[in-house]
Structure 1
């Protein structure tokens, strides 16, 4: 049970989230005076909120203690799960190879890079590709797209969906030796209908939506991908309290990790890039600092090498660091070509 299920008013819940209290555990060691100061409310009101939190914890413990104990797994079971887990193709063979087949489920993957490198293009491509049947490199699932910058383009999503249908038709026709006319049941409009879009305009909205995802996915169990584009934007805008920012980000990261494992889905966080000075020179780094880099299972950095786009696997628990070229075409993310130029897409 989390903050969203506490017996408090919507206004109080919003103040808690804005102040960084996104879980019951974050309220466990807080005194009424401290909470009153953080929420800018009377101490009597803070005491009532803490009382409600205490009651929620007792109820949660009485209902969930046996589930926690029963949740243990053996290492052998974990290995079997990894062997049978499926990936979402990126539509670029070289990029899939360095990722071990594509974007993995039950993991949080961070993808960052400079503006114009193709982060949103890759996010839209994944939102389409996750809907492909398993035989075509997908999971037959749906996607949630959380847009914090207003960069999602439905016209571009339609282009990529149309190209996806063409690719599946071509692939199926290649497999059929008699070259009979083949049919793919999914149409471009079906891909768009399976992308749940959330437009976020503040960091409090972002935290609220992340907290709401567990319930939303319980009502839409076929969701297999969550994308946040970008996870950074609202946390770099007028945020002076770095301690609060770190606490909010840590809480959000833990929720996303738990969400991915609990629902066997992939979480992709698109991040912005910045420059970092070390050893006498500047180099490309992803935003939100070093502490944030530990929040994700995998980290991929997109960068320019001349006129070609490259992806570098910077962090993975099971794969070696490696680079792969890719390109952004009118059809979406594809294998790199020698004629790849810095073309601005829609």
Structure 2
């Protein structure tokens, strides 16, 4: 047996002793073909890193009892992998045109047989092994990185919010270049997807920042997939498109600048607030699943709004709060406030994080992107 088929290449990445692991190492393809999916061995080698759920991001090929037309419908609705179908509710799948309750139930049963390890509990030790695949992407500032424990993490959603001219978009541009760097340089050695809702993305800024990090400007721009979101519905459609792209395993960063802009325009007034929050919640849940499934870092920028009661209620508050309410607050794993400091300095403050204490760091905006004040 060739070395690539012995399982040696996967020892560093695959450590969970699950049924799915044994199937991978022994290449028991018959298991996938029986009552479930037919997958290609080449895709196993291409997607050798397992997802946090214990599943692998195999692209859908054949479902027993389901025709090719229905597979096409699944992909058209953003379900390009086994794990993405597994994470979808029956209610969501029933919204696909032509899908009956019987057909959806067949799909779910096939998923359960194909991914038994993803359907129940795992030990904390197994989760610890899975989280070793988390990548931290630098902000471009060592001080900023220090309060984040090294940078913004993959497999989670991070949010930065603040008023205008605090550096939200400049941070997005900087990380779009840094993410392409090798891991030892604070990058993730991957491509970047950039959803722009405000029309503030500038390729020339990417070129300037790339020069600072010694990256070829043309190469840096080529590795960024850019899309201008026209409205909140289009914003969700772009996620469906990215699901197909992310299945290739080349992307490590998704930026949305900014998350609430389209939702605020499409849903105006208190009368539409409930509908807006429901649609926003669906969008954020989709984001969270993609971050975990494809080991991608999701960075969202967010706007702020005036809250006259904030100063009286919270000592030291400046009367502003992030847009999006509790729905957005709960969806963000790490939440960082950006504000103006003294002179040209800006301040980043951890507002919420499961593993980082509440701390502050200063940074500046330069021609080369986000940097430390002493580097100017």
CA-CA distance at 1:65 after TM superposition: 1.1
Deviations 1:259-308 (A, max 9, x none): 11111110111111122223626522111112320011111110112332
- Say which structure, 1 or 2, has more relative contact order (CA 8 Å, 6+ apart): 1
Any gaps of 5 or more consecutive residues in structure 1?
14-22, 30-45, 166-185, 340-346
Tell me how far apart the structure 2 counterparts of residues 279 and 190 of structure 1 sit (CA, whole Å).
Answer: 47
RMSD of aligned C-alpha atoms?
A: 2.8
1:324 matched to 2:361? The reply is yes
Q: Any runs of at least 4 consecutive aligned residues in structure 1 with deviations exceeding 6 A, and if so which?
A: none
Any gaps of 5 or more consecutive residues in structure 2?
1-59, 61-69, 78-87
1:231 matched to 2:259? The reply is yes
The match for 2:285 is: 254
Q: Is the contact made by 2:232 and 2:266 (CA closer than 8 Å) also made in structure 1?
A: no
The 1:338/1:260 distance shift into structure 2, 3 A limit, reads closer
Tell me how far apart the structure 1 counterparts of residues 206 and 238 of structure 2 sit (CA, whole Å).
Answer: 22
Aligned equivalent of 2:298, options 250, 267, 273: 267
Q: How does 1:160-309 map to 2 (within 5 A)?
A: 160-165=209-214, 186-218=215-247, 220-240=248-268, 241-276=272-307, 277-278=309-310, 280=312, 283-307=319-343, 308-309=345-346
1:310 matched to 2:347? The reply is yes
The match for 1:36 is: none
CA-CA distance at 1:116 after TM superposition: 1.2
Q: Is the contact made by 2:93 and 2:99 (CA closer than 8 Å) also made in structure 1?
A: no
What TM-score do you get using the length of structure 2 for normalisation? 0.70
CA-CA distance at 1:91 after TM superposition: 1.2
Aligned equivalent of 1:65, options 91, 109, 112: 112
The match for 1:37 is: none
